[in-house]
């Protein structure tokens, strides 16, 4: 039965912005619930799921609030991702999904430290593994953290959950005639500077042959459809 699944192990990147929903800050309980229930459904189909969460709903390093230096601001941003990680963990466990949070900055009272082989072991046991604190390094993004972890755990695909349907030829917010790309190559994305994720993240996926799917998280059922390999969801980059 599991042989019918397109992917056996996937990375799901959920931005902090997605978690804030319409509130503009923090975590929207309805969004958290939706993500958790779709991840739970996908996990119950037998797909091994790793998740990286962003932190932009609480803090973004580049904003350099209160004039903080960049590195300090980035550490605050990484801590913000851990808040999201443990909230998502709690939402998943309420649905009976076994989970582990691993953080790139040690805080063993609330989560395991990141240990690659241990993360893989959890996945093999069917536990959803949520990676918090980004890469543990300032000057990186959680997209890059997700691409890095995806490569480390040998993920078959990288799903970037966003608030838009995928990658467009122009900004759909300002151009109503913007056209959604269905398929793109990594070369297209890099050479045409299409806005998907930062270049470090895209390059990591390209060099490690991890296809990327950019899709809209706010449409019910999309997370599940994407993870189960529905070709019609979003933009595929490979
Ligand atoms: N961050 C960092 N190193 C990492 C990952 C994240 O310094 O490896 C910081 C950075 O300041 C970033 C913040 O954490 O702005 C939150 O992550 P991000 O903005 O990528 O989250 P998202 O946009 O997905 O909400």
Instruction: State the average pLDDT over residues 89-103.
Output: 98
Cα 209 to middle of ligand 1, angstroms: 24
What percent helix, strand, coil does the chain show, rounded to 5?
A: 40, 20, 40
Domain range list for the chain: 2-237
Q: Is 134 in the pocket of ligand 1 (CB under 6 A)?
A: yes
The pLDDT value given to residue 3: 56
Q: Is 55 in the pocket of ligand 1 (CB under 6 A)?
A: yes
Give the rounded distance of the alpha carbon of 95 from its chain centre. Answer: 20
CATH no. of 2-237: 3.40.1160.10
Tokens matching residue 90: 């709690």
Q: Is the pLDDT of residue 117 over 80?
A: yes
Give pTM, 2 decimals: 0.96
- Label residue 140 left, alpha or beta by phi (over 0 means left) and psi (-120 to 50 means alpha): beta
Q: Is 132 in the pocket of ligand 1 (CB under 6 A)?
A: no
What CA dihedral angle connects 24, 28, 34 and 38, to 10 degrees? Answer: 80
Q: How many CB atoms lie within 10 A of CB 105?
A: 18
Q: Check if the interface score ipTM surpasses 0.90.
A: yes
Among protein residues, the one whose CA lies closest to atom 22 of ligand 1: 54
The pLDDT value given to residue 195: 85
Q: Choose among 148, 153, 160: nearest CA to 212.
A: 160
- Mean of pLDDT over the chain: 94
Q: Is 103 in the pocket of ligand 1 (CB under 6 A)?
A: no
Q: Is 145 in the pocket of ligand 1 (CB under 6 A)?
A: yes
């Amino acid at each position: 039965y599991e042989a019918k699944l397109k992917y056996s192990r996937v990375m799901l990147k959920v931005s902090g912005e997605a978690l804030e929903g319409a509130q503009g800050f923090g975590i929207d309980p309805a969004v958290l619930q939706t993500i958790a229930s779709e991840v739970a459904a996908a996990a119950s189909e037998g797909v091994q799921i790793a998740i990286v969460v962003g932190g932009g709903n609480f803090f973004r390093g580049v904003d350099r609030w209160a004039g903080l230096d960049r590195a300090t601001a980035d550490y605050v941003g990484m801590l913000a991702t851990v808040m999201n990680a443990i909230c998502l963990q709690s939402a998943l466990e309420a649905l009976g999904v076994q989970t582990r949070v691993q953080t790139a900055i040690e805080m063993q009272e609330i989560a395991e430290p990141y240990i690659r082989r241990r993360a893989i072991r959890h996945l093999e046991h069917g536990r959803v593994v949520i990676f918090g604190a980004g890469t543990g390094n300032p000057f990186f993004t959680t997209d890059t953290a997700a691409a890095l972890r995806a490569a480390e755990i040998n993920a078959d695909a990288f799903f970037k959950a966003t608030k838009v349907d995928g990658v467009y030829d122009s900004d759909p917010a300002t151009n109503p005639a913007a056209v959604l790309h269905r398929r793109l190559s990594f070369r297209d994305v890099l050479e045409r500077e299409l806005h998907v994720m930062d270049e470090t993240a895209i390059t990591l996926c390209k060099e490690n042959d991890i296809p990327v799917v950019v899709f809209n998280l706010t449409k019910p059922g999309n997370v599940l459809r994407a993870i189960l390999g529905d070709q019609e969801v979003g933009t595929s980059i490979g």
